[in-house]
Amino acid sequence: MYNNQENSYSTGGNYSSGYQGYNYGENRSYNYYETPRPKKKKKTGKIIFIIFVLFLGFGGSAVAGYFLGNNYFSKNVTSTSVVEELPPVEEVEIQKPEISESGIESTQIVTAVVTDVTNVVEEVMPSVVSITNTSVITQNFWGQQFQSENQSSGSGIIVGENDTELLIVTNNHVISDATELKVQFIDGSIADAKVKGTDVNMDLAVIAVSLESLERETISNISIAVLGDSESLKVGEPAIAIGNALGYGQSVTTGVISALNRQIEMSEDGATTGTLIQTDAAINPGNSGGALLNVRGEVVGINSNKIGGSTIEGMGYAIPISNAKPIIEELMNRETKDKVAAAKKGYLGISGLDVTYEVSQMYGMPMGVYVAQVYDGAAARAGMLKGDIITAFEGSSVNTMEDLQGYLEYYEVGETVLITIQRPGAGAYIEEKISVTLGAQTQIP
């Protein structure tokens, strides 16, 4: 160290220099005007250089330079490492600093976030049910039609009850085309269910189970879910999905809210777009209609595997409960209806064509069922005209002829239904509502 005040040069130990002359004892000093005794040069630098050159010959220059340099300077230079502060984590284990061979201080940090959802699951599981849909599929083979029975599985959430029924919300695609619906509760008991109401565009449906068909033990074991507020969700907060995955029974998956307000096509033709919740909690076939929960056990979304499909991984979608609540409440208040026998089924007396999304975009027509022909029957008496487009039946959206025919399966001849149409006017379509008293099939040529 060089000190201006003492005007002396020291190299550590007991070696110092001044104006007193010099001696060769432990405290050597020498006069600056005299020639000091020559000092032997250390060979450390030369040795390092030779070894470094040898390593260059074998392609190890970078490695040799690093380790030799560190080894040398660790003996002669005091190094200080700086460990940056980490953001708070739920559970963080920090090991004691370790000194590596290079002399650099290192710190190993291991983090583990463990979320225990057992209490939430125990609280909510009694409000989630499994749904089995039995339907008939018609297939064409060599010009002949064959029918076969098909079963599919889904999930549902108990959202309320009235004097006679237990009310369950699910996805519309879970219960569509059903000839028979079965609901299984947490205690394993199974009951028949009926469709209360559906909304095709939002892919929502409410089904009802008669309270009389349930055992007292089952009623005591089940519960009504608490519907939360999806508007208050934040990206990154925990998410829990419960549902009848693959039809094997209720299961639980966990993750986080990955994104909010995702604009996703909810139908294969892109006709319907919904604002959905995205989560990485696994949502598999059978989870559709099940509950997406927050850590308080509140339902914040209704899962839908159909929207995500099987071509993606780690991206599931759910209908936000805040958007679904008004629709659920309206469907819950509808009259529960049974499918009627084919001989009693009511008819409109029309033939129609689907106004698909592509056709709607191309010709500026509302989506729905285009009335191609009005026969002498119920629709004609009600004032329906060729060119009208049917967009709703008893308040439920109509996108295709299949939708319209599905609704008619619950209404007998002589019943009056309210149909919403779009009628072409002066440069635009005008919405009208007409009441139609259904007629018999024999009235259709």
How far from 350 is each of 168, 173, 353, CA to CA, in Å?
34, 26, 10
Domain ranges in the chain?
A: 119-221, 230-332, 342-443
Helix ranges (DSSP H) in 216-367: 216-221, 305-308, 321-332, 357-363
291-316 burial string, b = 16+ CB within 10 Å, else e? Answer: bbbbeebbbbbbbbbbbbeeeeeebb
**Whole-number pLDDT of residue 30:** 42
Residue with tokens 């089952």: 218
Over residues 137-161, the pLDDT tens digits come to: 777 777 777 778 888 999 999 999 9
Count CB neighbours of 334 within 10 A: 16
**Whole-number pLDDT of residue 422:** 96
Over residues 392-443, the pLDDT tens digits come to: 999 888 989 988 998 999 999 999 999 999 999 888 999 999 999 999 986 5
Candidate CATH numbers 3.90.580.10, 1.10.1070.20, 3.40.50.300, 2.40.10.10; the one for domain 119-221: 2.40.10.10
| CATH topology match: 119-221 vs 342-443 | no
The ranges of the chain with pLDDT < 70 are 1-115, 265-273, 308-313, 442-445
Q: What are phi and psi of 404, to 5 degrees?
A: -65, -45
Report how far residue 435's alpha carbon sits from residue 411's, in angstroms, rounded to the nearest whole number. Answer: 14
Q: Which fold has domain 342-443?
A: Pdz3 Domain (2.30.42)
**Helix or strand run (H / E) with residue 54:** helix 44-57
Q: Which residues 6+ apart lie within 8 Å of 41 measured at CB?
A: none
**Whole-number pLDDT of residue 142:** 78
Q: Which residues 6+ apart lie within 8 Å of 265 measured at CB?
A: 272, 273
Catalytic residue set:
173, 203, 288
CATH 3.30.70.260 fits domain 230-332: no
Q: Give the residue from 180, 191, 63, 185 showing the smallest Cα distance to 129.
A: 185
